[in-house]
Amino acid sequence: MSLKELVITVFATLLAIAFIVAVIGLIMASAFGNIFGDQPDTTNSLEPSATKPAVTTVKPTISNTPTPTYDSGGPSPTYPADPGTTVTPTPVPDDGPKIISAELVGYGTDSSTYNRGSTAKGYIDVKNTGNTAIDEVKIDVTVSRKIPIIGIVSQNFEYIAEGQNIQPGETKRIEFDVDIPAEYKGISTAGDYTINGNVFIGDKSIGTFSLQIKVV
């Protein structure tokens, strides 16, 4: 064998070996690829997420302090009452117990002399010294005359004056009438008479009076 033929033979052998090695390498690469092939990437992608706007929850504020309201009567605020609160009414100042009291401060008649068959007009002045109005005044009147031989003849009258409305501190005049007959049981009524009176407010006497008149 010549040198040329030897070189060609060696070169062909090397090519064959290289080919075989390449084939074996492809086979092994394929096998390793099946065993240790690329696995899917399980790493989460860090893609930017959409930014959501922040939501602020606002809770209503409940205040125990009522809102002042102003009336037209002045600048001072008035506060509405809390529906859940019991409002205690403001007590009205008490002036104390009601006192009914009065005084008899004057009395008299419209004349000192009367004709038989006429009417004598008397009056009393009552002052309210209490703290409440006086509506009713009662007058007990006794008219008497001394007759010779017979003695003292008298007659009683009661006068009730209603609706007077005498206010505390006020003085009011109340009038009453006494009828004078022309005669009494056939006897002339001419003569001197005494008119006695007792004044009452309720059941309490506030004073007495005595008047002298002449009948002609």
pLDDT value at residue 187: 79
Residues of the chain with pLDDT under 70: 1-7, 10-11, 18, 21-95
- Report pTM: 0.55
As assigned by CATH, the class of the 102-215 domain is: mainly beta
pLDDT tens readout for residues 81-117: 555 555 566 655 556 799 999 999 999 999 999 999 9
Residues sharing a CB contact under 8 Å with residue 213, sequence separation 6 or more, in sequence order: 109, 111, 112, 113, 114, 120, 192, 193, 195
pLDDT value at residue 81: 52
What ranges do the domains of the chain cover? 102-215
Alpha carbon of 175 to those of 37, 87, 107: distances in Å? 138, 53, 9
Residue 174 to residue 178: CA distance in whole angstroms:
14
pLDDT value at residue 76: 56
Q: Residue 209's beta-bridge partner residues?
A: 197
- CB 151, CB 168: distance < 8 Å: no
Residues sharing a CB contact under 8 Å with residue 159, sequence separation 6 or more, in sequence order: 138, 139, 141, 176
